[in-house]
Amino acid sequence: YLGTKAESEEGHLLRYLFEEKGYRKDVRPVENPEDTVDIYIALTLSNLISLKEADETLTTNVWVEQLWYDPRLTWNQTEFYGIDILRVSPDLVWLPKLILENNNNGDFEVAYYCNVLVYPNGYISWLPPAIFQTPCSINVNYFPFDWQNCSLKFSTLTYNAKEVNLRLKEETDEETQRMYPVEWIVIDREAFTDNGEWQIVHIPARKNVDRSLSPESTQYQDITFYLIIKRKPLFYIINILIPCVMIALMANLVFYLPADSGEKMTLAISVLLAQSVFLLLISQRLPQTALAIPLIGKYLMFIMVLVTVVVVSCAVVLNMHFRSPSTHIMSDRMKKVY
């Protein structure tokens, strides 16, 4: 009986808010046309899925929290069975229409339109999940000991800064009871899974304002969340760096082999081919850019030049070693020299 009565009271509250009060979702939630709607935004990171260096694409699983005040959706709890929260479809209420400006797949909005939480004081909370693919410019200078700075830029292209004011979510300090903005990406410790290749170092957030534009421009403001990550180099150290150094050291053994063994040239060319394979592996992992060459690439190119010199030296040494009067007749000029 109590459950049935609560359901009927909730239905009555829905009719009161959306029918009797004449709610319109296409109208901004303001009492006066010149008022601005404050939208508080926070980003919760559930998973850093991947960073594809070749495509320069970051894939993340996030929750985009949005909080705003709608004076039309207020009620007295004592008149409606003490209901302190109302869960409604996002199709029924006004939404700020936040989009991810820098996306790589053309998916500007969230992945799932979950219910909106409405409170008696008129505040609305919406926490939709999303899987975003964003561009991330890869700096390959110090690969595999590199750091990358990726960002997620949110804005609203429907309203300008005079209509909607984007702000970072605020929380209350338990000791001082003062409000402070959440200037970082929130990490969901229970759901978050560590990425095997990347380690999160810093996760700041900030509001950007372009003073060169008018507040009436939709490009005037945005909220940007930065994801600064560091590569875990152990895989590359074991599988690329150590083998490269060991193979490069093997090139010195060419000078210790006797020419009669017939393996000097074979060893030198084998080392050269091995270095070429490692250089090919690295080039497949990195973006095809001419802006920078990684240090490991420069090292491999330097080693390949040295090994090429070794191959040429071996050819000269073998040629001189196997010369004989029957195979190479000394010219008159050389006879005069010697």
- Segment 88-121, tens digit of pLDDT: 999 999 999 899 999 887 766 676 788 999 999 9
Residue ranges of the chain assigned to CATH 1.20.58.390: 235-321
pTM: 0.83
Helix (H, G, I), strand (E, B) or coil at 162: coil
- Which pLDDT belongs to residue 332? 74
- Which pLDDT belongs to residue 225? 97
Residue ranges of the chain assigned to CATH 2.70.170.10: 2-232
Question: DSSP letter string over 59-116?
Answer: EEEEEEEEEEE-TTS---GGGTTT---EEE-TTSS-----EESS-SSS--S-S---PE
- Which pLDDT belongs to residue 3? 45
∠157-161-163 over CA atoms, to 5°?
90
* Largest separation between any pair of C-alpha atoms in the chain: 122
Number of H helices, E strands in the chain: 6, 15
Successive 10-residue mean pLDDT values, the chain, 338 residues: 56 89 90 92 94 90 94 90 90 91 78 88 94 90 91 91 93 81 87 89 94 90 96 90 87 80 80 86 74 82 86 80 70 69
Assigned CATH for 235-321: 1.20.58.390
CATH topology of domain 2-232: Acetylcholine Binding Protein; Chain: A, (2.70.170)
- Which pLDDT belongs to residue 116? 95
- Which pLDDT belongs to residue 111? 66
- Which pLDDT belongs to residue 152? 95
